[in-house]
Amino acid sequence: MTENIRINNPNVKYTDTHIEAQYCYHTSAVRRDGDTLTVTPSVSELEFRTERRVPRLGVMLVGWGGNNGTTVTAAVLANRLGLTWRTKTGEQKANYYGSLFQSSTVCLGPGPDGKEVNIPFRDLLPMVHPNDIVFDGWDISSMDLGSAMERAEVLDWSLQEKLRPHMSCLRPRASIYIPEFIAANQAGRADNILKGTMAEQVEQIRADIQDFRHSSGVEKVIVLWTANTERFCDLTAGVNDTAKNLLAAIQSGGEVSPSTLFAVASILEGCAYINGSPQNTFVPGAIELAVERNVFIAGDDFKSGQTKIKSVLVDFLISAGIKPTSIVSYNHLGNNDGMNLSAPQQFRSKEISKSNVVDDMVNSNPILYRKGEKPDHCVVIKYVPYVGDSKRAMDEYTSEIMMGGTNTIAMHNTCEDSLLASPIILDLVLLTELCQRVCVRPQGSETFQSFHSVLAILSFMCKAPLIPPGAPLVNAYFRQRACIENIMRACLGLPPQNHMHLEHKLQRGFLPRHDNRIYDNVATKMVLSTGYHASQQNGPIHNSF
């Protein structure tokens, strides 16, 4: 990864090892006195320090042999090998479409011609390239990744043929299987499971992480759960309420879910742990352990399909002053996730994860919703084997518009579960790895600090974001994206994106000439003859003509 962005500003220093940026962070405090709101802006001066060297990254997936695990591994291999394959419509190249960092762009500012310069999101800061990730992992099914890829029925057959020699040699490590946490219908897959006490199994997971680290030569390991959705775990005082009690419960064999055991093992190994499923892996004791050990945790539940669009559409409607009154989401899918979710307790975890996604937007608008009022919200998930990984999401949004009118949006979304989740898995680990190289020193403080152990910046990729206590919960898609972009810009000393284009909105330009941009007064014939309108200049490009 070479850096190709250079900030030309005395507030930003490039040392051999770090990018050091002085940054003014603006907040405002609001006080209400009767009808009057007093807004007090304040500025905090922060120093951001980002390590420039990108380490060799290993990622261990829990559920490596599942549809997500095989698809993300295959995608990275295919991209690394530069594979192409034939489909009936032509040759297809490996790509990372659907990845925020690899396939979306951010605007840096205007170039000398006045046009906006957009760069890949990943180029903002030195980041690991997904091609360089080394994968390993666990699965309760012993099937090798070549066969598991075939079982998943996700990738084109001609691609599978090219990948099989590279995938078949990969075998998941034995995993933790506690039958009561996942659906009974998973028992048939469970032929690759650890034996022994809970404590022994945690020790084995830790040994696996150490073994992977040493044998692969990676410098850093991140562990990510993309295995079955578990039932929710009861929060019980004395069992999982503190780090100490949780560790004791593991020793004594209390109620601890497999995912929490993986999280504990990772945290004890100093490895960030990300939960891609909806269950409450992060019981209070697990969070406390992560905070004590200064290890990042993040979750929950990949936001990939229906919920992602919901966090766009509902934000759009409410931000336009339109009042969603009923949101009904039907899903059917036929992969192993769907089979597991067909059991009531596992569905319940998913339902909880999906149900709160509109709360922040609803609560932000007291004009449309009185206190405590919410839209009706109903989520149904059905297991329909035939559709396989090609998940269907059918949503109906009914909204109240002006003067009692109704706006009804019905949407049918064919989601391709694993192809949408895999790039999100990559985004999660790449952003986590980056965050491990960023630290911040507030003015007046002697020491740098890293991000909070609960890595809320990953909210963008999560259906039910885990956040530090007291932090605002944001589900709105574009706000979450702006958060990532603006924090990465801060690492370069660049202020937040403002979208204002003020230099084009006044009668006369005000920017200095030396930046090569030219802001002429308007009423010149040269300009007028070309017209002011994009549509007039470009003409329509429709196929329908």
Q: Which of residues 93-122 bind a second copy (CB under 8 A)?
A: 94-105, 107-112, 114-120
For residue 370, state whether it binds a second copy (rule: CB under 8 A). no
* 310 flagged as catalytic: no
Instruction: Quote the CA–CA distance of 133 and 56 in Å, as a whole number.
Output: 7
For residue 236, state whether it binds a second copy (rule: CB under 8 A). no
* 144 flagged as catalytic: no
Q: Which is nearer to a second copy, 134 or 482 (CB)?
A: 482
Binding mask 38-67 for a second copy (x = CB under 8 A): xxxxx-x-x---------------------
Minimum separation from the CB atom of position 432 to a second copy (A): 14
With vertex at residue 100, the alpha carbon angle to CA 326 and CA 121, rounded to the nearest 5 degrees, is: 135
Whether the CB-CB separation of 283 and 234 falls below 8 Å is answered with no
* Six-digit token string for 507: 């009668």
* Six-digit token string for 163: 């990948």
Binding mask 271-300 for a second copy (x = CB under 8 A): ---------x-x-xx-xx--xx-------x
Rg of the Cα trace of the chain? Answer: 25
For residue 320, state whether it binds a second copy (rule: CB under 8 A). yes
Of the residues 185, 319, 382, 387, which one makes contact with a second copy according to CB under 8 A:
319
Give 158-195 as a 3 state SS string. HHHHHHHHHHCCCCCEEECCCHHHCCHHHHHHCCCECC
Of the residues 152, 192, 453, 462, which one makes contact with a second copy according to CB under 8 A:
453
Which residues in the 461-480 window bind a second copy by CB under 8 A? Answer: 464, 466-474, 477-480
Whether the CB-CB separation of 47 and 133 falls below 8 Å is answered with no
Residue 261's identity, in one-letter code, is L
For residue 522, state whether it binds a second copy (rule: CB under 8 A). yes
Q: Which is nearer to a second copy, 147 or 364 (CB)?
A: 364
Which residues in the 127-166 window bind a second copy by CB under 8 A? Answer: 155-156, 159
For residue 69, state whether it binds a second copy (rule: CB under 8 A). no
The stretch near a second copy (CB under 8 A) out of 189-197, 198-206, 251-259, 524-532 is 524-532
For residue 35, state whether it binds a second copy (rule: CB under 8 A). yes
* Six-digit token string for 339: 């089979």
Instruction: Quote the CA–CA distance of 227 and 278 in Å, as a whole number.
Output: 11
Of the residues 126, 146, 338, 493, which one makes contact with a second copy according to CB under 8 A:
493
The stretch near a second copy (CB under 8 A) out of 168-176, 218-226, 266-274, 456-464 is 456-464
Which one of 208, 220, 391, 427 is the catalytic residue? 391
Length of the chain, please? 545
Closest CA to 465 of 223, 316, 303: 303
For residue 15, state whether it binds a second copy (rule: CB under 8 A). no
Minimum separation from the CB atom of position 365 to a second copy (A): 5
Cis (ω within 30 of 0) for the bond into 300?
Answer: yes
Closest CA to 226 of 274, 170, 286: 274
The stretch near a second copy (CB under 8 A) out of 125-133, 136-144, 267-275, 505-513 is 505-513
For residue 513, state whether it binds a second copy (rule: CB under 8 A). no
* 16 flagged as catalytic: no
Residue 184's identity, in one-letter code, is A
Closest CA to 129 of 481, 429, 483: 429
Residue 209's identity, in one-letter code, is I
Q: Would you say the C-alpha torsion 81, 85, 91, 97 has a positive or negative sign?
A: negative
- Which contacts of 372-377 are long-range, i.e. CB under 8 A and separated by 24 or more positions? 375/323, 375/324, 375/325, 375/326, 375/327, 376/325, 376/326, 376/327, 376/328, 377/326, 377/327, 377/328
Taking the mean position of all CA atoms in its chain, how far away is CA 115? Answer: 30
* 391 flagged as catalytic: yes
Which residues in the 399-438 window bind a second copy by CB under 8 A? Answer: 400-416, 419-420, 422-423
Q: Would you say the C-alpha torsion 385, 427, 225, 167 has a positive or negative sign?
A: positive
For residue 540, state whether it binds a second copy (rule: CB under 8 A). yes
Instruction: Quote the CA–CA distance of 209 and 303 in Å, as a whole number.
Output: 27
For residue 376, state whether it binds a second copy (rule: CB under 8 A). yes
For residue 187, state whether it binds a second copy (rule: CB under 8 A). no
Q: Which is nearer to a second copy, 384 or 451 (CB)?
A: 451
Residues annotated catalytic, as ranges: 301, 350, 391, 463
